[in-house]
Chains A and B, each alone.
Chain A
Amino acid sequence: MPLPISKTKALLEWKLYLFIVPSVLLIAIFSYYPTISAIYHSFFMWGGGDTKEFIGLKNFTDILGDKVFWTSFITIGILVIANVFRMIPSIFLAVLIHRLKSDRWQYWYRVMVVIPMIVPGLVTLFIWKFFFDPNLGVLNAALDASHLKTLLVHMDQFFGWGVFYEGVPTAWLGEPALIIPALIIWGFPWIGAVGVLIFLAGLQSIGTEVYEAADLDGVTPFQKFLHIELPLIMTQVRLSMVLMIIGTLQGFGLQFLLLGPDGGAGGRGMVPGLWMFNRAFIAGEFGYACALGLFLFVFILGLTWINNKFVKVDK
């Protein structure tokens, strides 16, 4: 704990305040000011420059009638749910690594899990964009080689999706109906290095004697997971789920890189953050973009509040 200090001594130590001045100035100018400025400008028609016109709540009433924005909310909802499932392989891998007897292998697998992190996320996304390419893309080649394509074509005929045809390369990012699936598939098998590492940290507290006792009782591997491992990493799972939801809701880098600022064919990949970006930097409607951003801001803040109030994360 910091030492208590009397008023008079604090006056003598006034120089200590100089230490905090740069940080305070930085966050005031580059974190607080933009937020306050966004609230202020959401009541204006504003093109980003000096001229602006006060229009009251018009930006907000416009949001109510903005079909693109509400559709983008449905899209992001689907992606959030998909991301919950995308967490499963990381949990599975962490449990597998943890159950190994050899510490040396555990360490080396951990290093290998981290390796994708040294490739910039942008590069990974671009490689996946290349995988999705209809003509040279590796994904189509893999589907053809494994005959999964034939299965998909049959399923297509059965369900009437109208997207997979024999002999026609699938345009993953060009076909509106496939955009959301592509946004979910990318990154398969969805191992998140940070996720695996924090799950492993949570699992560390299980002693070998627990496993030995379980072995003696003839517990199956899946029961071990349900009754021994999962309860111990529940805190970490919940924490990373909360961070994932907040991150997914406000993120739009993925959609921007794979699909461009218009959300791809038919705008099917449009998400709220990207729509805000699009309105500001493509349409030049900065005031409206501020209102959209503010709407998202309040929405996420509400979720954070609910989480802090009702979901207890013991740390």
Chain B
Amino acid sequence: MNTPPATVRRKTGDLSKHIMIWAILALELLPFYMMIQISLKTNKMFYENTWLPALPQDWVWKNYVDAFHLIMPFVANSVVVSVTATVGALFFSLLGAYFFARYKMPGGNALWAAFLLLMLLPGVANIVTLFALLQSLNLLNTLWALIILGISGGQVFCIYVLRNFIEELPKDLFEAAEMDGASHLKQLIHVVIPMSGPIIGTLAILQFLGSWNDFLMPLVILRDPQLFTIGVGLIYLDGEYVKQWGSVMAAFFVASLPLLIIFLFTMKLFVRGLSAGAVKG
């Protein structure tokens, strides 16, 4: 019998898997390859050469200059909305989660049920009446509307995750802090927050992604082009009739830059955050 040792066999077997994975990933990443290579061409260069990138000396950096002019205001608005909404959502859900996790306060169970129920209720009918509500609150055509909706939209999921996490923390820590006369707010700041860095980071990434990718609410809320966030801004650009595809693709790339920067610094949290986000749906 001349069978090769198991390890060798497995190595050769793995090669075909690597090839298949690369093939799938290549197709999956094709749109982003096209985005980047077209962003450095003029329309004429693109018609003449669809697939391959232009030579480096021919790269049309002007597309990026145009793109920056076009969408930097949108990106700035989106940064303001997403950062504020993320910080706000986490601040209030930390408070809320602490309430549920620390003691079995009277009425706590009923409130918890009210939160959990929202996980099951589909929000499909809300967009119509939310619009009317924001209208009567005089919040239409403001970034505040998006910030508040971002904060309130994150409450249920963040409180759900944080409550479970805070309950797992050792009770002695809270008791020791209480002995020292620390108020609940101090306990939250000095006991809970230092120990929950990764979970807060994960939730922050999910919140930020959700807020950054949102376009339906901004579309119905914002009228003023100066207030457009990236979502509406791109829809607005898409509506233009004659397109310089190079600058459009460059604008797409610029719209992805903030997320790319976050990704580079928080790759591990990102991967974990997305696995956790599956539960959120």
**A280-B128 contact given A20-B95, A101-B14, A189-B24, CB 8 Å threshold:** yes
A64 interface hit (Cβ, 8 Å): no
Determine if A120 and B270 form an interchain contact, defined as CB atoms under 8 angstroms apart. Answer: no
Main secondary structure of the interface of B (DSSP, over half): helix
A2 to B163, CA, bound (A): 9
Determine if A97 and B21 form an interchain contact, defined as CB atoms under 8 angstroms apart. Answer: yes
What's the nearest-Cβ distance from chain B to residue A108, in Å?
10
Q: How many residues of A contact B (CB 8 A)?
A: 100
Q: Mark A26-54, 1 if CB is under 8 A from B, else 0.
A: 11011111110110010000001100000
Q: How many residues of B contact A (CB 8 A)?
A: 95
**A31-B123 contact given A101-B14, A123-B234, CB 8 Å threshold:** yes
Which residues from chain A contact B274 at a C-beta distance below 8 Å?
Answer: 114, 117, 193-194, 197
What's the nearest-Cβ distance from chain B to residue A192, in Å?
9
A250 to B126, CA, bound (A): 11
A127 interface hit (Cβ, 8 Å): yes
Which residues from chain B contact A111 at a C-beta distance below 8 Å?
Answer: 267, 271
Which residues of chain B from 234 to 266 have any CB-CB distance to chain A below 8 Å in the complex? Answer: 234-235, 238, 245, 248-249, 252, 255-256, 259-260, 262-263
A246 to B121, CA, bound (A): 11
B155 interface hit (Cβ, 8 Å): yes
A257 to B237, CA, bound (A): 12
A138 interface hit (Cβ, 8 Å): yes
Determine if B133 and A33 form an interchain contact, defined as CB atoms under 8 angstroms apart. Answer: yes
B34 interface hit (Cβ, 8 Å): yes
**A277-B127 contact given A35-B121, A301-B121, CB 8 Å threshold:** yes
Which residues from chain A contact B130 at a C-beta distance below 8 Å?
Answer: 30, 34
Q: Tell me which of A66-74, A147-155, A172-180, A288-296 binds B.
A: A288-296
Determine if A48 and B132 form an interchain contact, defined as CB atoms under 8 angstroms apart. Answer: yes
Determine if A19 and B271 form an interchain contact, defined as CB atoms under 8 angstroms apart. Answer: no
List chain B positions with a Cβ less than 8 A from chain A: 6, 10-11, 14, 17-18, 20-21, 24-25, 27-29, 31-32, 34-35, 46-47, 50-51, 92-93, 95-96, 98-106, 108, 111, 114-115, 118, 120-133, 135, 148-149, 151-153, 155-156, 159, 167, 171, 183-184, 209, 212-213, 215-216, 220, 230-231, 234-235, 238, 245, 248-249, 252, 255-256, 259-260, 262-263, 267, 270-271, 274-275, 277-278, 281
